[in-house]
Amino acid sequence: MLTLSTRNQVAIGAALVLLLIVTRGHHLSTLHNLPGASWAVFLLAGIYLRPAWVLPGLLALTWGLDFVAFQWGGVSDFCFSPAYLLLLPAYAALWLAGCWYAQRYRFEWSTLMPLTLATVVGAAICELFSSGGFYLFSGRFAELSWAEFTVRELTYFPPYLQSLAFYVGVAAIVHSAFTVVHKATNQQKAAL
């Protein structure tokens, strides 16, 4: 099981909030080439951050960023529809997948299997709620069909999954580096 000090959780939480702010859509035009990190932020928050208020806090932040972008940032409100509410269970699925993984974490190579499972299953459920909900409930599509939905999924889901995998991979590398340094430091202290 992954347990972190409050200080480490605050530092990770601040980094995740900053990552969400700078990569949320095209809200900051100077950083628009970074892949969106929203999915990764919710998954990683579930892994690293224990307070229950983290999920509603991140949901409020994403809503606030989107609201500002729609109202004053010149971003199209095409995605803002009744289906927007389905982002709540979509992001919660990622957060819960992260919480599930945190219970299974071990600093061993074998931890990559449950991490991959949590990432893929969380992403698939998130995609069903977010894109599936948008397709069905946004009112933006005149005629609904499974064929069109499948084509849209094959177009949009792989880039989201790729961005998620990128950020989770970077987090795994950073996590491993910090863990190795921490263990080496503790061994040196014990030897003295």
Q: Is residue 181 part of a domain?
A: no
The secondary structure of the chain in percent helix, strand, coil, rounded to multiples of 5, reads: 75, 0, 25
Q: Is residue 101 part of a domain?
A: yes
Q: Name, in order, each residue with C-beta under 8 angstroms of 63's C-beta and a sequence gap of 6 or more.
A: none
0.85 exceeded by pTM: yes
Which pLDDT tens digit goes with each residue over 28-61? 444 556 788 999 999 999 999 999 999 999 999 9
| Residue listed under structure tokens 């729609």 | 70
| Residue listed under structure tokens 């199209």 | 76
Residues spanned by the domain of 132: 6-176
Q: Count Cβ neighbours within 10 Å for each residue of 115-151 and write b for 16 or more, e otherwise.
A: beebbeebbebbbbbbbbbbbeebeeeeeeeeeeeee
pLDDT greater than 90 at residue 7: yes
Q: Is residue 161 part of a domain?
A: yes
Q: Is residue 39 part of a domain?
A: yes
Q: Is residue 186 part of a domain?
A: no
Number of domains in the chain: 1
Q: Is residue 36 part of a domain?
A: yes
Q: Is residue 183 part of a domain?
A: no
Q: Is residue 123 part of a domain?
A: yes
